[in-house]
Structure 1
């Protein structure tokens, strides 16, 4: 039988409106993340939080030890929920994330958080390459406008492009409602 874990990626204060690097739609995404988190807690499935800190004090956001680098209050970990500290885009790189999943005999991971085009993309591709069945909760993820070659790519388009790419070959990409309904039907 599949064992599932929720991985919450970088839902940290600096990504919120009062932070150093605000994302579009981050409040709505965090509310959806909190719904999924509550569902995991209710059934007793594993929950792992990931938070990013840069190693330099002059980083644009998530500076070491700063309030902005703390987990946002909407999704704070509880006593038995580990928090993985990472310094790279891919949450598996240089961290204990894989060991935590293996200790719990996890086969399936559900991923949500920030940013869609960076750390969500990185962890989803890595998890799939490591053999995990991956689900992404797209409306519980957020990003920001990007720029490439002098062109601004609106956040919604960047998010959509990355979700489409992940859904093509790496993960099931579902809304919060779709995921919660499927879980309720499986019980």
Structure 2
């Protein structure tokens, strides 16, 4: 089994002052940076995703705005790969599956934003395609929601999605419990 780190949409619009700030985005980025540092030290493949809105009425990740930019703390370094996407699922129209198969990566360590959208969609797709998935839950963040008059805090949204993904077959770990040195790399 070979492992790859997938960093999804840690972009400026999700942080305070951005167009769609998430609960816990700052602490999630700090944790994600720690995982990236470990991955870089162990030679683990790292793949970054950046969502770029394609809808004319988009309110965040609008091309040409600072909000669409990757948050500097987790910026890509050479030789890491970078994909852009226009869908919640990072496998849609990106070449991700082709890259993973070509490099014999069959275990994905997923982190990023949003727990309730792109982390969920990408992780479920990976599981459906036969990949092993580990989600670093404290390197992810979610928005608060409202449903039928009930306010759902971002931490509760995040917890619900992590529980559902664990139930679907993903390993859901804190960064402190992720030992990249024990995971196989190419």
TM-score by length of 1: 0.94
C-alpha deviation, 1:184, in angstroms? 4.5
Root-mean-square deviation (Å): 1.4
Which residue of structure 2 lines up, in the alignment, with residue 132 of structure 1?
A: 131
Corresponding position: 1:145 with 2:162 = no
Indicate how the Cα distance of structure 1 residues 186 and 44 shifts in structure 2: closer, same or farther if over 3 A, else same. closer
Indicate how the Cα distance of structure 1 residues 51 and 82 shifts in structure 2: closer, same or farther if over 3 A, else same. same
Whether the aligned pair in 1 keeps the contact of 2:3 and 2:183 (CA below 8 Å) is: no
Flag structure 2 segments of 5+ consecutive residues without an equivalent.
Answer: none
Indicate how the Cα distance of structure 1 residues 105 and 42 shifts in structure 2: closer, same or farther if over 3 A, else same. same
Equivalent pairs, count: 184
Partner SS, residue 27 of structure 2: helix
Alpha-carbon distance in structure 2 between the residues aligned to 1:157 and 1:23: 12
- Detail structure 1 runs of 4+ shifted over 3 Å in the superposition: 183-187
Which residue of structure 1 lines up, in the alignment, with residue 159 of structure 2?
A: 160
Partner SS, residue 147 of structure 1: strand
C-alpha deviation, 1:186, in angstroms? 6.1
C-alpha deviation, 1:98, in angstroms? 1.1
Higher RCO (CA < 8 A, seq sep 6+): 2
Which residue of structure 1 lines up, in the alignment, with residue 25 of structure 2?
A: 26
Q: Which residues in structure 2 correspond to 1:1-187 (within 5 Å)?
A: 2-180=1-179, 183-184=180-181
Whether the aligned pair in 2 keeps the contact of 1:5 and 1:106 (CA below 8 Å) is: yes
C-alpha deviation, 1:159, in angstroms? 0.6
Whether the aligned pair in 1 keeps the contact of 2:42 and 2:181 (CA below 8 Å) is: no
Partner SS, residue 78 of structure 2: coil
